[in-house]
Structure formats: structure tokens, C-alpha cells
Structure 1
Amino acid sequence: MWFDEIGEVFEMFRGSFPLSFLFFVPILIIISPVSPVNAAQEFGVYRMQQFDLQGSSFGCKNSVINMEARAIDSKMLTRRCAVARLQDVTMPKYRELMSQNAGALLVILPKNLSALSLEEKQHLQSLEQELLQEAVSVPVYFATESEFLNDIYLDVQEGNTGDNAPTAWEALLSSATANGFQLVISGSPAEPLPEFEVANIQGHLSGYGIEEQLPTIVITAHYDAMGIAPALSYGVDSNGSGVLLLLELVRLFSKLYTNSRTHAKYNLVFLLSGAGKFNYQGTKRWIEDNFESAEGNMLSDVAFVLCLDTLGAGSELNLHVSKPPRDDGAGGRFYKHLEDIAKENFPDVKIGMVHKKINLADEMLAWEHERFSIKRMLAFTVSHLDTPKSSDRTTILDTRERVSTPVISRNILLVAEALARQIYNLTSQGSFQIFTDTLSVEDPVIDSWLDYFSSVPRAAQLLKPDSELVVTLEQTMGRYLKDVRKTLVKADKRDPEFVFYTGAEYVMNAYNVKPAVFDLFLAVCIAAYLTLTYFFAQNFRLIYSTLKRTVTPLSPKSKVQ
């Protein structure tokens, strides 16, 4: 009978139990629902900003992680890495993590930041601003949402249910059955870059006449960007749009200056400055170098300085000044030109003037033009923003979707036409437009630049003088301008104005592990299993005969009796 055959199989394994037990191991591994491939995964993460500015430290001071992942609402976060979605992270919650001595924080960002609701965008921008003002002593990382990260998040959330279990036994059982993850970022801690060089790129168009005797107009824009994580800081609007406007002004006016009939009696100096988001350090050094230059002061006869900042969106164009300009002065005339051109060609655009005095007690200057105004030069900034404190200037949300090609094209024409009327003294010429036909602005060119800016993070600490972006900007200016050169800025070794740190993008490893209490459960289960197996093997004949009598049917003779 079949039961006798099973008995023979048991007898075969009983004779060589230790070896026959190994027969079941590969079978158990094959049918196990746990995949060894998923036991360890790696993914890219972006470290929070870290820099020193004028003796003060900002951002995240640590970078190394080797700790267990826990949900942000867990009660036990000491020396553990809190994992949370963006909407779960608030400043009160962050301060609570610090009070619990949490070891690190990993924030999972949505795949498409532009698809966030207005409330979610405001939450992220507010979080960026406040975190950068905090003394962040633990590693803070950001990661883009993925299927694996979602699994980690759900698993740590499930493990967190044990903290809220009604009984100690249920809490212990929940801890033992939950999946855990060990998050590891190896390598050396972030280190300062004391020899880091910031590049300024300058070039000029010489006016008609004796160059040294002609007035100069300086047009400048800083090319770096800022966000909570350097590797996510694209700054397409602030200040990619300003750089794009400057490059288009370079192209348009270089055509005018190559024609003897339109060669103006003004020198035009174009400057792309570095480290603009760090209190305009590149601009500061450029001004100092030119005032102290033995070859002749380029800034000795400056008519005005035009700064371009954040011009890729909105229906407003504001002229930011440190001192209200006189109506008959260069600043007043330029503002009047902007108003006239807007009325003639762009009636939907609102032109405004914003006056803000320079507060020398502030650690950070509001606008780039204030660097020039401190040196008593007439300077102003054109921007669609109405305040320098706008969080739109320092956010990782500043991506390609935030800017509009038609708006940038419109702003290029507004600024170019106003500048042309200024240098050619065309105030009384009536309504007309200079930049048409061969001098028109081409939208495909604008799109190409915007796509390029949105593909390269432009945090200052990522832009070395020989980086692709800096070289591309230098080559573009060299195509149209004279004497294009790159000047390098280093921080003072004794009292550095700025210090950048290594480490913006890392690879994080996540290892699927069980908590320590699982080892206790596993040891108890193994001991019980071995005990039962031992007694089963020692008393196999008794168990076998008992089972045989139980299941063997009675013979016909026994039934008759």
C-alpha cells in the first residue's frame, strides 16, 4: 500500500539523516518567495548643500551613512536613518528628528517635480529655505522616486506598525516579521575645497572712436544656480534665462557693431560672473581687479551697469534700483525706453520700478547691481520678480517647465530695443523696431539653450573653470566679442570668503536585513525544529506502527466477527 511505500522512504532517510536533510535545503530555497537578487540594491542620491560663506557655515555637515532605515514617525530613531516622502517632511518634524538623535534623513522626491500641486511646490520651497538656515549636523539626502525606493518606504512603514501595537507581544511579533534595510554610503567624509576656482568670463565690443575716451555700458549676469541639493540645481529661470538674454544681446549687438553705419559710440562690456548665488563673489572680485588694474581702468567711465536676473516667466518686468534714478539720467531714460517699447509692442507687459536701499549689515546682498552701486556706479537689475527674497531664485523646482520661450523672446526684444535706443539716442524717433528680419530673435535657438541649461546642474561648486558649461559659454562669447578671457577667483587662504565641499552625488546601497529580534525568533524556531526532528528520528518505529494501525483498514474476517 501507499503508506508502506512512504514508510520505506522514511526508513531510507532515517539511516542517513544528517546527509538526507541537505536534500530539502535546495528545494526550500527554490520555493522560497524571497529573491536573493533583491537582498541588495543601489541607487543614486543627492546630498544637501554644504558651504561656508563669510565665516558662517550652511547646510549639511556630514555625508557618511551606515545605519538601519526607519520610518520618520518611528518612536526609536536614535542612530537610524529616517526615510520619508517629501510631503512627510516639515521643519517641526525635522527638529523632532534632531531631538531624538536621528542619524540621517533620506527624502524621496517625486519623479516629476513640475507635476506637483501649487501647495506641494510651496511646501518644498519653504523647506529648502528653512533647511539652509538650520545647523544641519546629520547627513540629509534626496532621491528620486523609483519602484525599489517605494518598496523600501512601504517596508519601513510596515515595520513602524510595531511601535503602535496594543500589546508587547504584538509589537515583538511585528518587529520580527517586518523587513528591514541597512542603508550604506561608504567613502570618506565630505572635505573642503580650499583651492577651488570660480571663473568669470568677459568680453567687449569697442565703440566707434577712441576706445579709451568712450563711455562704457556693462551688461552682466551670473551663470550659477542654487537649490537644496547641488546636483539637482538647474536654475533654468534663475539664472539661465539671464545668461541666455546676455548671449542674445552679444549676438545682436555684435552685428550692429560690425556695420560702420550702426557702430555706436559706446563700449559694451559683457560679463558672465561666477558664484553669484554666494553673495556675488565673482562680481566682487571682477570689480576689484578692474579698479586696481595697471593696464587701464575699464570702469573709469561707466554710463551704467545692466544686470540680468530671472527673466524667463511672468507678464511683468521690473527695474530694481538702489537709488531712484533721475528722469534725465541714464537710468531714468532706460526705464522710459522700457515703458515706451512695452506700450508700443507688448501692451500686456507691466513695467515697474522697485527701489530698495542697500543694507550693508546684511550678510547677503539682494541683487548683483548692489556690488556696483557700492562702488558708486549707476547700476540696476532687470527681472520679472518683484522682490529679491523670492524662493523662486533658490529652488530645485527651477526646471525647464518653469520658463517660457515666447516670454524670453519678448524680454530679449524689450531689453535689446531699450538698450539700442539708449546708445543711439533715439528718444525722439517715434515708434519703430530695430531688431527685425536678420536681427530678429529665433525661438529654436532659445529652445536649444534652455534644453542645454536644463540638462546640466549649475551649482557653483560643480562648475570648475574647465567644465563643459564654462568652456561652452566662453566659446560662444568668443564667437562675437573681442578679447574674450576667463579670469579665475580664489578665496583668501587666511580668511576665505567662501568654501565649497566635495560630495554632491553619491550611490547609496540598501541591504535587506532583519532586525536583531528576528535572530532570537529564528534561534528558537531552529531549536524547536531540531528537537522535534531528533525525537521523531529516535522514535520513528513507534510513530510508524501507531500511524499504520490507525490508517490500515480492517480485514473482511475481522468485520464478520
Structure 2
Amino acid sequence: MLLDFFDDIAETFRSCNGLAILMVIPLVLLASPGYASQSFPVFRLQGFESGSNKNGSFGAAIAAEATTHIRLAHRKCFLMRMEETNAARLKDVVRMYPLAIVIILPDAEATLQLSEEQQQNWLEVESMLLEGEYPIPIYFALQSETVMQVLSDLKEITSTDSGSSAAKALVNAIFGNGFQIVASSPAPAQIPVTKFANIMASLINTRKNVELDSLMIVAHYDAFSPSADLSKEVDASGTGPACLLSLAKTLSGLYGSPENQPSLNVNFLLSAAGKVNFLGSNHYLQNNEQASKKMRLVLALDSLNGLEADSDTLYFHRKTAKSTSNAQLQDLLRFQQILEQTATDAGLKFEVVFRRPNADQWFQWEHERYSGYRAATISGHSNPYHPMRKSLLDNGQKINSRKLITKMEVVQKAVLQYLYNVSQVLHEEDQKNYYQQYQGLVSEEEVETLMHYVATQPHSSQYLGKGHPYVRSLYRSLSRYGKLAAIHEFSLDFSPSSAGAASVRKEDVVFYDQKQAIAFAYKVKPAVFDLFLSVAIAAYVGLVYLSVLSVPMLHSYLQSKLLFPQQSSPKQKAK
């Protein structure tokens, strides 16, 4: 019976089915258990060309093991939170040559909890991201329960990788779990034709038949920050249009009555591509040459809220004048004096900032697009280069509504006094009464509603053609108050097949498409585990193979012992 049993075993292992069973056993015993994947949206860092320079991220797909430890970042996907990020740490990560970087952003309300140091660190990181060229994909992920769970598990796994001893670290590196991050996205492609849309309206003096000079009110409405799909910039791209729309509403009531119409026309321009060298204003000037000659004064409105430290300061940016006798300068100086007085009456600080345009034709304030001494920018920022003007932190949470409305009321009062040539020579009590009649012109509810809308609608420069919902919404708002409202679309065409393709100039920006992707996080064994598993399986199969080969030898040995027992020795026989 025993020999028959061994015969059956040998016959089984001679067949393919037996060997297959032995092959599957180690896979079942050693393979890591399966885990369901977790997914979350990610947003790629902007990619663009400025002249001959490439900036931003030009990678897309991710398929790499994740880590939160810098020394383990080589050829992995590195995850980090905004709160923990600074320029030095980002440089250290990049030096490790990771396959991808994912930065987790807090929600809008959580940004209020960031310390001053954390905010400054992040602004430096944003500048570094926009000014450098990165061949790897760099993504932003919004903080969510799923993302934070993945990050928490990953940090726990990473902490075990650096065990208390080399042996423990080696064991953890082989048998510990890890996360594989996978995001499928096509490689960034250059946008051959970028469309922009100017939104215009006018208020015309109908009492006089002659063509009058005009006051030009302009504000750009587009945003530009490290992520195109997250660009909102409530202060940088929202407060200027809000003030312009409020002015249009107030002035439309005055121009509606012929007896109240001032002796100037007013043109409103919500300009496109403000973050692309103010191409919207440039297009307006090129296509409205006659109207540009009639501009007596140009006022650009930009980032009226400003920094928290400057929330009670109004800055007046204009070109340096060598002589005050210039005819164009007189109107600007008169408005400057009016604005300074009204700001002082409202309890605001007022400061004039002189600046010459850059020689490289890259403008920092919109009034620089308008030649001569007839233009100025009213802003809450003293420095055009402040990184907050292109930051994801400009999400509306730090808008001081009361201060913003006060600034808007000051601008409205100054414009009305300029249009109607109201004397500033008033007694103190008269000044107080005169200012009070302008209070309430700006609707706090309307301003807050518009700020909320801006904060919920990404509106990066390259997306805002005339059909974009954000553009249509602004057009409907302006058309309610201004006459001859229109949307004028223009484009930059860099497609090689286009007969009229534009050549890329130093001041032009060529955008690359920005695709939102879905990242999947799989909990898996580390890559070194696969190597260990392969060696273990090979050793196991080798042992099984040798064992199968030794079955006939074992069979023969047992057969000889059981069927042919040893005969008694001669001494035993003699006894």
C-alpha cells in the first residue's frame, strides 16, 4: 500500500497539473493582498513659453511609487503639503530626480490659518515654479478626505522605511506596503491659437453734436497663477472689474438724464490678457485709433484690496514727468489732487508711485500701455512685482470688504468730481456733508456677490474667448449700464499652417494646454518586493524540481527495504 501511494505521487508530479499546483502555491502564499484604489483630481502646473524661454511643467503622465521622504524621492512620485513647502525643500526634491511631484493645497478657508512665514514660503515656491522649467509632471491636488487619508498612510509607511536599525529598515523595505500613483494624461501640447475677448461699453453725451473727449476706465479681468484650472485671483482680477461695474452703474443714471450729462464721454473696457502683457489694451488701441486720440484721461483699476498691511492705502501709479507744464499732464495732476483729497477725507492713506516702463516692452501696470502722461493705475499694491498678484493664495479669503468698498467709493467720488469739475475748495463741514452724499453708491451686497462669483470661477488668461461663461457674465453686467456694449475677440495665432501666423516676440506668451487628470493611488508592495518574490519563487521551484527528480530514487530505496529485507548474517545463522 505504501509503495502504491508513492507511485501515485510520482505519477502526479510527472504530469503538468501537478507542477502547475506547485507553481501556484508560492504565489498564493507570498503575493501581497489586493487593495481597492483611491482616486482624486489633480491639476497640472502651467506650461508656457515667454519669448525663447520655457516655463512651468512639461510632463504629464504619472506611474510611480509614492513617498514623502526626500532621500527616497529618486524616481518616485513625491507628495507634500503646501504648509510644509518652501523653496529650499522643493530644490532638494528636484535634485533627487523624482518622476513626479504632487503638492496638496488646503481649502480656501484653511489658508487663513497659514502663518506669515508659511505664506511667504509659498509665494517663493510659486515664483520658483513659474520661473523654472521642469520636464517632470508637477500637479496640485485639493485637500480632501481621500487625499489626506492617502497622505497619512503614506507618511506612516515612509516612517517605517527608516527603521531604528539597518536590519529592520531592510525588512520594512522588502515586506512593507507602499502606494503606486498613476495618472494618465496626454503630453502638454502647444495651443496654436489663443483667443481673447475685450468687453467694451460707452456712455455718450447726447446734448452736444460735436465729438467730445473721453475718460477711459479700464480693468483687466483675467487671472494667471501656477495652475490654470485653479486660477481665480479675486483681488488681482476681480476688484478692478467690480469697481468698474459699480462706476458704470452710477454714471449710467447720470447720463440717462440729458441735463445731468457731463462734458466728457466715458468709455469702459474690461480688457483681456491683462496677465499677458496687457494685450487687450494693446488690441483696443490698435483698432480704435480715432478714439484713442480723444482720450483725455485713462484710469486703470488693479488689485484694489492689496496686501493686508496696505488695506487702508491707495496707490496712484503714473509715469515720471520731467516737467509739469505738459498739457496732457494737467488733467492727470488735477485728478490726482482730487483723488488724494477724497482718500484723505475717507481716512485712507494716499501715495503716488512714479515708475518708468521697462525697456524690454514687458509692462507691469496697464496704464503703461497708454502713451504719454494721461494715464495712471489705481491699486492697493505699491509693487507690481509682488507675487500675490499671481498667487493661488489670492482666493478671496483676505478681501477686506469694508475697506474695499471705501476705496471704491473714493474712486467714484473722485471720478464724479473730475467729470463735473467740482471745486475742492470747501469748508471742513461742507467737505464732510459732500462726502456723505456719495456714501452708499457702492452696493456692499453686489460687491460681495461678484467677489464670490470670481472666487468660484477659474478664469485663466488662455481660456477666455468670447464664448466663455465668465466673459458672457461680465458682458451682461456691463451691458446693463453702458451703451454700445460689445465683445471684441482677437487671437494670437502661432500655428505653423496658418498663413498669417504670428512670429513669437519677446513680449508674447505661448500657452500649452492644461489637462485636469484623475490620479489613482494603489496600495501595493514596494518594487524590491517583486525582486525578492521572484528569487523566492525561483528557489522554491528549483527545490520542487529537485524533489520530483529524487522521487524514483526514494521509491527504489523503499522498495528495496520493504520487498527485499536484509538476510540474516552467518553468525546469526550459527546461533
Shorter-chain TM-score tier: 0.7 to 0.9
CA contact (8 A) 1:491 1:498 kept: no
Alignment-mate amino acid for residue 298 of structure 2: V
CA contact (8 A) 1:74 1:160 kept: no
**CA RMSD in angstroms, aligned pairs only:** 3.2
> Could you tell me how far 1:522 is from its partner in structure 2?
4.7
Aligned match for 1:407, one of 403, 406, 427: 403
Instruction: Tell me the equivalent position of 1:339.
Output: 340
Aligned match for 2:176, one of 154, 174, 178: 178
Q: SS of the counterpart of 2:224?
A: coil
Change (3 A) 1:465 1:377: farther
Instruction: Tell me the equivalent position of 1:455.
Output: 456
Change (3 A) 1:322 1:383: same
1:239 equivalent to 2:237? Answer: yes
Alignment-mate amino acid for residue 202 of structure 1: M
1:382 equivalent to 2:378? Answer: yes
Instruction: State the distance in 1 between where 2:365 and 2:201 align.
Output: 22
> Could you tell me how far 1:187 is from its partner in structure 2?
3.1
> Could you tell me how far 1:85 is from its partner in structure 2?
2.0
Q: How does 1:7-406 map to 2 (within 5 A)?
A: 36-37=35-36, 40-75=37-72, 77=74, 79-111=75-107, 112-161=110-159, 164-165=162-163, 169-210=167-208, 213-291=211-289, 297-313=290-306, 314-324=311-321, 326=324, 329-344=330-345, 346-347=346-347, 349-361=348-360, 364-372=362-370, 375-376=371-372, 378-406=374-402
Q: TM-score, normalising length from structure 2?
A: 0.79
Instruction: Tell me the equivalent position of 1:481.
Output: 482
Instruction: Tell me the equivalent position of 2:524.
Output: 513
Alignment-mate amino acid for residue 465 of structure 2: K
Instruction: Tell me the equivalent position of 2:571.
Output: none
Deviation string, structure 1 residues 288-319 (Cα, Å, up to 9, x no partner): 2222xxxxx11112111000001125000010
Structure 1 window deviating more from structure 2 (479-488 vs 175-184): it is 175-184
CA contact (8 A) 1:305 1:377 kept: no
Deviation string, structure 1 residues 189-239 (Cα, Å, up to 9, x no partner): 121211220111111111244465311111000001122212222111112
Q: SS of the counterpart of 1:196?
A: strand
CA contact (8 A) 1:161 1:174 kept: no
Deviation string, structure 1 residues 47-86 (Cα, Å, up to 9, x no partner): 1111223343221112222222122413451x32111222
Q: TM-score, normalising length from structure 1?
A: 0.81
Aligned match for 1:501, one of 494, 512, 531: 512
Q: SS of the counterpart of 2:305?
A: coil
Structure 2: 5+ residue stretches without partners: 1-11, 494-500, 552-575
Deviation string, structure 1 residues 135-173 (Cα, Å, up to 9, x no partner): 222111111223332333344434445764576543331
CA contact (8 A) 2:343 2:350 kept: yes
CA contact (8 A) 1:208 1:266 kept: no
Structure 1: 5+ residue stretches without partners: 1-15, 292-296, 539-561
Instruction: State the distance in 1 between where 2:173 and 2:149 align.
Output: 17
> Could you tell me how far 1:415 is from its partner in structure 2?
0.6
Instruction: Tell me the equivalent position of 1:426.
Output: 422
Instruction: Tell me the equivalent position of 1:553.
Output: none
Instruction: State the distance in 2 between where 1:321 and 1:506 align.
Output: 43
CA contact (8 A) 1:105 1:141 kept: yes
Instruction: State the distance in 1 between where 2:174 and 2:412 align.
Output: 69
CA contact (8 A) 1:417 1:435 kept: no
CA contact (8 A) 2:228 2:514 kept: no
Instruction: State the distance in 1 between where 2:539 and 2:190 align.
Output: 56
Structure 1 window deviating more from structure 2 (158-167 vs 440-449): it is 158-167
Q: SS of the counterpart of 2:223?
A: coil
Instruction: State the distance in 2 between where 1:482 and 1:148 align.
Output: 50
Q: SS of the counterpart of 1:203?
A: strand
Instruction: State the distance in 1 between where 2:406 and 2:32 align.
Output: 60
Alignment-mate amino acid for residue 401 of structure 1: Q
Q: Say how many residue pairs are matched.
A: 500
> Could you tell me how far 1:115 is from its partner in structure 2?
2.1
Q: SS of the counterpart of 2:364?
A: coil
> Could you tell me how far 1:483 is from its partner in structure 2?
1.1
> Could you tell me how far 1:515 is from its partner in structure 2?
1.5
> Could you tell me how far 1:34 is from its partner in structure 2?
6.8
CA contact (8 A) 1:234 1:454 kept: yes
CA contact (8 A) 2:70 2:93 kept: no
Change (3 A) 1:246 1:504: farther
CA contact (8 A) 2:69 2:158 kept: no
Instruction: State the distance in 2 between where 1:377 and 1:194 align.
Output: 37
Instruction: State the distance in 2 between where 1:162 and 1:442 align.
Output: 57
CA contact (8 A) 1:159 1:175 kept: no
Change (3 A) 1:107 1:336: same
Alignment-mate amino acid for residue 53 of structure 1: S
